[in-house]
Amino acid sequence: MSWDQLISLIINGLATGMLIFLLAAGLTLIFGLMDVLNFAHGAFFAWGAYTGAWIYAGTGSFIGGILGGILAGIIIGFIMEKLTIQPVYGNPVSQILITMGVMLVLSELIKVFFGPNPVATPVPALLDGSWAIGNIIIIKYRVFIILMGLVTLTGLSLLLNKSKIGLIIRAGVSNKEMVQALGINIKQVFAMVFMLGAGLAAFGGVLLGPYSGTIQPGIGFENQLLAFIVVVIGGLGSIGGSAMAGILVGLAGSFMAFYFPEGALAVNVLLMALVLLLKPKGLFNFRG
Amino acid sequence: MKNQLKNPKTLLLLLLTALMFVTPLFTDSRSVLMLFAQIYLFAIFALSYDLLMGYTGIISFGHAMFFGIGAYSAGILLRIGDGAWTHFLLAIVVALLLSMVVSFIVGLISLRLSHTFYAMITLAFAELFFILAEKWRSLTKGTDGFTFPVPSFFHDRLNFYYTCLILLIFIFLVLSRFVNSPVGRILQAIRENEQRTESLGYKVIHYKVLATVYGGMIASVAGILYAISLRFVNTAVFGVDKTLDALLMTIIGGTGTLYGAVLGSFVIEFAHKWLSELADVHWIFERWMILFGLVYILIVLFFPKGILGAFRRRKHS
């Protein structure tokens, strides 16, 4: 393999990894921090992707699409948390069932609103095309994804580790009763974290559209497992861990696709099994 | 025995069982018999899940892998043997052995993890089987699947109906003896308090592995019956939705009761059939999966302990 190929593979792997991180970042909050087994997480990607594509097609503004997609995610997250998550905090079996139900409803509703057929999601003109450096071809949109991933990572880390609200969230996760006793409405805080997670997932969904070229109602289900794998590998509740795990999964997938395409699907699952067996709490678990 | 016969619960059970035996006398519709056979085989699957979730407190997301192992064992061997009896028996042996080995290995390496991680890793293992079935096309024909001949005995739907029913009753009786045996009591102790059971001197991991091995083997029997009922098998048998069906059936009926699993299978299979038939009534019901999703949500919100659980609570209050 030549250097050119190696660099291309690495860039592709990084871009895929960052996209996976974007999809998983919301889940890190919802599943990793709050311990909610949200099997409807994929529905946020799907609704984000469809709303984003619909607004972009209608108005021609990609930024408008991104904002609209995030808003859709937050609204759905708000309603879902109120109606279905609040009654089942701390009860994993009920969470699985109820969120699966929500997933079925939300995925079918996508077919009702946007139709069951795949929708084309073009790359906006500004980000279309590629740069050529020597023999290496760098696709602009992939660089954009990497940048967005880094921005999200930095923003989330700052929010969680440096801000007051981040302090409350982390305290609430480790000792809910104590935080409540200090006069903080923990229910409201959890609801906000859930909405933030939903919005992030929808953001990932909007960016996923142009990356894959088309979207179809099944994208939620397809990418959900990947998000779970990344969160588990990274260690529950660790934003940095999720980013590292996303990159690891992205690079592994990119190299596997080159050397042994048959195994590309299995590599993520094997990676997770391996990590869990060697480090049962994930690679970067700070929650103890 | 005489005293037991006076117990209204036992009488009710005997009556229901008798009803299941004579059902074919009232209908000769193939689709009705098919539906009931499917209910019985899914009840077997749900029973195996109840042993794990209801009695040992293990939540697996990968139970479909044993269901799939059974289904593919039957499909592949019967295809090779052209539907011969010998190959059917061989399929049973292979399915039981394979699921035993797989559940033993998976259990041994992953049962040490905490609940959430165990759930995720079993999900991952099931996904591996799904991918294997999709990629090993020479053996499985991938997503398209393949049809295969079944032994002539099963050509008669009535024979298949009674096979499923008798197996269900047999497995139900064996399991109800098992969960009340000394080992079964230990499993329930693990469900209630793992640390305390460990400190009483029981090797918790051994018993948990034992439960997953039994659960896996029973699930593979359900898988064999499923493949034979369709005379067709594809990658869907390894799908997460199969595991979730078992989970839902167990919960709807009531976990840790065994009866609940059977009841849940009736409810879910009827709901599936009824809701999907609604699509013919009005176009709006073409999206019947929405209704099914709502069923999930409403059950968790209003019947968190299942139908039997709600019934018991009423009786006590």
- Collapsing DSSP to helix, strand or coil, A122 comes out as coil
- Say if the Cβ atoms of A98 and B300 lie within 8 Å: yes
pLDDT band, residue B2 (cuts 50/70/90): low
Interface of A with B (CB under 8 A): 35, 37, 84, 87-88, 91-94, 96-98, 100-105, 107-109, 111-112, 225, 228-229, 232, 236, 262, 265-266, 269-270, 272-273, 276-277, 280-281
pLDDT tens digits, residue range B117-154? Answer: 788 888 888 888 888 888 888 888 877 888 888 888 88
pLDDT tens digits, residue range A9-54? Answer: 888 899 999 999 998 999 988 888 888 888 899 999 999 999 999 9
- Collapsing DSSP to helix, strand or coil, B163 comes out as helix
Average pLDDT over residues A192-197: 92
Bridge partner residues of A133 (DSSP): A136
Whole-angstrom distance, CA of residue B57 vs CA of residue B53: 5
Mean pLDDT: which of A75-79, A269-273, B24-28 is highest? Answer: A75-79
CA B59 to mean position of chain CA atoms? 14
Q: Which chain A residue is nearest to residue B133, measuring alpha carbons?
A: A266
B297 falls within a domain: no
pLDDT of amino acid A285: 65
B202 falls within a domain: yes
Residue B66, phi-psi category: left (phi > 0), alpha (psi -120 to 50), beta (remainder): alpha
pLDDT of amino acid B4: 59
pLDDT at B315 > cutoff 50:
yes
DSSP-H helix ranges across A2-91: 3-27, 41-59, 62-80
B166 falls within a domain: yes
pLDDT tens digits, residue range A73-130? Answer: 999 999 999 999 888 888 877 888 889 889 989 988 998 888 888 888 888 888 888 8
Which residue in this structure is represented by tokens 């602009």? Answer: A140
Whole-angstrom distance, CA of residue A219 vs CA of residue A116: 12
Hey, is the C-beta of B271 within 8 angstroms of any chain A C-beta?
Answer: no
pLDDT tens digits, residue range A132-145? Answer: 887 788 888 999 99
pLDDT of amino acid B314: 64
| Residue A27 vs residue B3, higher pLDDT | A27
Average pLDDT over residues A161-186: 86
pLDDT at A286 > cutoff 60:
no
Structurally, chain B folds into a number of domains equal to 1
**Of A34, A41, A105, which to mutate for an interface test with B (greatest number of B Cβ within 10 Å)?**
A105
Q: Structural domain of residue B145, as residue ranges? A: 29-240
Give the domain ranges of chain A: 21-216
| Residue B176 vs residue A264, higher pLDDT | B176
DSSP-H helix ranges across chain B: 2-6, 8-26, 30-50, 64-81, 85-110, 115-135, 137-140, 157-179, 182-192, 194-199, 204-230, 240-253, 259-281, 288-302, 306-316
- Say if the Cβ atoms of A93 and B123 lie within 8 Å: no
Hey, is the C-beta of B220 within 8 angstroms of any chain A C-beta?
Answer: no
Percentage of chain B beyond pLDDT 90 is 30
The overall average pLDDT reported for chain B is 85
Average pLDDT over residues B150-168: 87
Which residue in this structure is represented by tokens 């970067």? Answer: A284
Distance from CA of A287 to the nearest CA of B (A): 14
> B212-226 burial string, b = 16+ CB within 10 Å, else e?
bbbbbbbbbbbbbbb
pLDDT of amino acid B169: 92
CA B76 to mean position of chain CA atoms? 21
Neighbours of A35 (CB within 10 A): 16
Average pLDDT over residues A162-183: 85
| Residue A273 vs residue A252, higher pLDDT | A252
pLDDT at A288 > cutoff 50:
no
pLDDT of amino acid A72: 95
Average pLDDT over residues B234-252: 87
Whole-angstrom CA distances from B162 to A240, B84, B85, B230, B284 are 57, 20, 17, 16, 37
